[in-house]
Chains A and B, each alone.
Chain A
Amino acid sequence: MATQQNPVQYAKAIQYQLNSIVTPIPVYVAFNRNFATQSKFITWMLRNVHQPVYTGPVQSVKGIDRPTFQISIFTQVIEDGFTISNQILQSLHGYSGLFGGATNGFQISKADVQWLYNSYDNDEKLAQIFLDCTLDIPT
């Protein structure tokens, strides 16, 4: 028996949690070219919000939500990006507990971070590192 959780809460919690891990590096919800003047910054994108629907005509019979958010790290110095990615890995990977702070946070069973790949954008002169973080959210 579970009601669908609110993606607005997910967004607030992700913003808070990432910000608290990498502060004072700025965290944004999506990429904006104006940020490219900054030496380091992070953006994130939420996807795959889905609670599996189970049998029967009753709407509340659902499973847990396992959304994924992609973390994109942009830095002018390549090593800075790797360092930030390690900071996020050490803090988030395997984390279980309150996610997103006291005001908008919620309990998660676990966070599972996958370090995807690094890259370089020659136009923006920015090194990039991408990570996926999947949350197990009990309902």
Chain B
Amino acid sequence: MALPNKILPGFSAALYCQPTASPTILTTAQLSLVASVSPIAVIGNLLPVEAIPAFGQDDAVASFSIAGTRQSDKIPVQSAPTSLTITAAWNPSDANLLLMRGDAYSGVVDRTFVISATEGSNIVYYAFNARVSQFQIDPAPGAEAKCTFTVHPRGNQYGWSNNA
């Protein structure tokens, strides 16, 4: 099966998290292995996210300039994986949202997350290890209650894979 060669519609991405309160995260090598990543991307691990935010890597440069020279230089350095601020409908009984709340409470739980972008049966996976912080519940009266939380990936612990 070849990877899709087309522009993917935005709504076909989904976010999954490893189950249990103290998960065993994937190794850096496993994060790029579809055989390790795809078992996490199952419906029981789905987070009921409203929309997947931008994911990938942050910009990171070292600025370098010397007095008297005409131009400074921006030297690209290893950039950190992007933090994701997630908004989900707040369901107080959703097991995976409760895991996120527990992770935020702890602050030191490492968990493997998987974003799958799908087109028909073709799937591209972005897997990363991350911690959760800033878990908030927003009970604005004009809409359903939302919970928002931020997922901070650990440095260098991410990988891409696909089912092609």
Contact = CB atoms under 8 A, between A and B. Distances in A.
Main secondary structure of the interface of B (DSSP, over half): mixed
A54 B144 contact: no
A131 interface: no
Nearest to B88: A54
B9 to A, nearest CB: 10
Contact of A56 (B49, B89, B91, B94): B49
Contacts of B144: 63-64, 136, 138
A53 B11 contact: yes
Interface in A52-87: 53-58, 61, 63-64, 66
A1 B12 contact: no
B160 to A, nearest CB: 19
Contacts of A136: 144
Given A1-B94, A61-B48, A138-B144, A56 B12 contact: yes
A51 to B, nearest CB: 9
Interface in A11-68: 53-58, 61, 63-64, 66
A136 B89 CA distance: 14
B54 interface: no
B50 interface: yes
Interface in B115-139: 118
B14 interface: yes
Contacts of B118: 57
Given A55-B51, A55-B52, A138-B144, A61 B46 contact: yes
Contacts of B51: 54-55
A61 B97 CA distance: 13
Most-contacted residue by chain A among B13, B14, B15 (CB, 10 A): B14
B10 interface: yes
Main secondary structure of the interface of A (DSSP, over half): loop
Contacts of B52: 55-56
Contacts of A55: 10-11, 13-15, 49-52
A47 B11 CA distance: 26
Interface in B4-46: 10-15, 43, 46
Contacts of A61: 14, 46, 48-49
A63 B94 CA distance: 14
Interface of B: 10-15, 43, 46, 48-52, 89, 91, 94, 118, 141, 143-144
Interface of A: 1-2, 53-58, 61, 63-64, 66, 110, 136, 138
Given A1-B46, A138-B144, 17 more contacts: A54-B50, A55-B11, A55-B13, A55-B50, A56-B12, A56-B13, A56-B14, A57-B12, A58-B14, A58-B43, A61-B46, A61-B48, A61-B49, A63-B89, A63-B143, A64-B143, A64-B144
